[in-house]
Amino acid sequence: MKTKYELNNTLKVNVAMSILLKSLVILSLCLLSMPGEAKKLYKYQDEKGRWHYTDKAPSALQSKEFKVEVRQLKVATKQRVQLNQIGEKRQPEFVIRNDYFGPIEVEVVFAEQENVQAAPALPRKFVIQPGVSETLFELGAVNEFQGWRYALSYRYSLGEPSAQHDAQAIYYPPFASYRKFQISQAFNGQFSHTDEQNKYAVDLSMPEGSEIHSARAGVVMSLENDYFKGGTDKQAYKSRANSIRILHDDGSMAVYAHLQVDRAQVYAGMRVRAGQLIAYSGNTGFSSGPHLHFAVQVNQGMNLVSVPFRFSDRQRKLSEPKAGQWLSGFVVD
């Protein structure tokens, strides 16, 4: 997962510095850190004939008295990483704000550079923990008697670059103990498991609304809960699947995708145990039908890369998932 932004700045001697932050992608600035409802518009007419339009759900009494229409609203992508300037205008310093509940790796480079230098020198990669970092670098003119101009760009990847997935880690079937589902697409699946992020992913066919349980303990690093559409148009739906990302103790991250809108049972920053109910399956994002997409990923060279894993059966035997295989859920100790 990568996003890129640019910061343009021009300085003339004895002229105040003006700074303009330009995003290459237009993003919202909201941070999802607690359980949130998908955005809905409620429309109803009261006893006096007045129409009401609100994003607040009417009370149970109002819902009984008036006919209420509900419409799902489109939501913007959340901006969770920002490069921010602090310090003096003539010698700006920069920090990074990380709104994920887990570490990220960020690379900052000069996109344009005229009579300006950075200390420490750029390009440079930084590992940023949740929250606002300490000062990472500062800029200044090479020749202070001349104007200077620069543009900064940055990209990031989720996870620690040094994380090593535990090949012996136990992953439980990610659904209720009383259910049984078939693997429709496994490792190297030709429909959508052809890139590095999804090479070792698994798709489980299941009806919408099926309980999804965590396959392994960890911390909810991020979640998307507001998307309500899906389809096979990759360009339109690739990044619009409801999902939950759970950070494991070894630094790897499990992704549960195509979840049902507005039904996450956890919140970002929450510690979950293996086998805990976290969401319900859906058909959101790039999807040809209701299913759960599950993968384990690590950060390798500023790229999210999926890694092989094994599911446990009721006898605690570990095996690599295979297409066509039926998995049975069971109570996690």
Q: Using H for helix, E for strand and C for coil, what is the string for 38-78?
A: CCEEEEEECCCCCEEEECCCCCHHHHHHCCCEEEECCCCCE
**Rounded to the nearest 5 degrees, what angle is found at the Cα of 266, between the Cα atoms of 264 and 268?**
110
Contact 220, 246 (CB under 8 A): yes
Q: Which two tokens stand for residue 147?
A: 């104007």
Q: In this structure, what DSSP letter does residue 238 have?
A: T
**Three-state SS at 234:** helix
Whole-number Å distance between alpha carbons of 270 and 188: 32
CATH architecture of the region 5-31+77-158: Sandwich (2.60)
Name 239's Cβ contacts closer than 8 Å, sequence gap at least 6.
77, 285
Question: Strand 124-128 vs strand 69-72: parallel, antiparallel, or unpaired?
Answer: unpaired
Q: How far is CA 325 from CA 179, 207, 329, in A?
A: 14, 17, 13
**What's the pLDDT score for residue 333?**
79
Q: Which two tokens stand for residue 164?
A: 């090593």
Q: Same CATH topology for 5-31+77-158 and 180-328? A: no
Within 10 angstroms of residue 29's Cβ, the number of other Cβ atoms is 10
**What's the pLDDT score for residue 233?**
57
Whole-number Å distance between alpha carbons of 178 and 174: 12
Percentages (nearest 5) of helix, strand, coil residues in the chain? 5, 45, 50
Q: In this structure, what DSSP letter does residue 232 have?
A: S
Whole-number Å distance between alpha carbons of 109 and 123: 4
**Per-domain residue ranges for the chain?**
5-31+77-158, 40-72, 180-328
**What's the pLDDT score for residue 52?**
64
**What's the pLDDT score for residue 229?**
66
CATH architecture of the region 180-328: Distorted Sandwich (2.70)
**What's the pLDDT score for residue 62?**
59
Taking only the tens of pLDDT, the chain with its 333 residues reads 444 333 433 333 322 232 223 222 222 222 233 334 455 555 666 677 776 666 666 666 555 566 766 655 555 567 899 999 998 888 899 999 999 999 999 999 999 999 999 999 999 999 999 999 999 999 999 998 999 999 999 999 999 999 999 999 999 999 999 999 999 999 988 777 889 999 999 999 999 999 999 999 999 999 998 876 665 656 655 666 789 999 999 999 999 999 998 899 999 999 999 999 999 999 887 676 899 999 999 999 999 999 999 999 988 899 999 999 999 999 887
Q: What is the pTM of this model?
A: 0.78
Whole-number Å distance between alpha carbons of 285 and 280: 15
Whole-number Å distance between alpha carbons of 244 and 266: 9
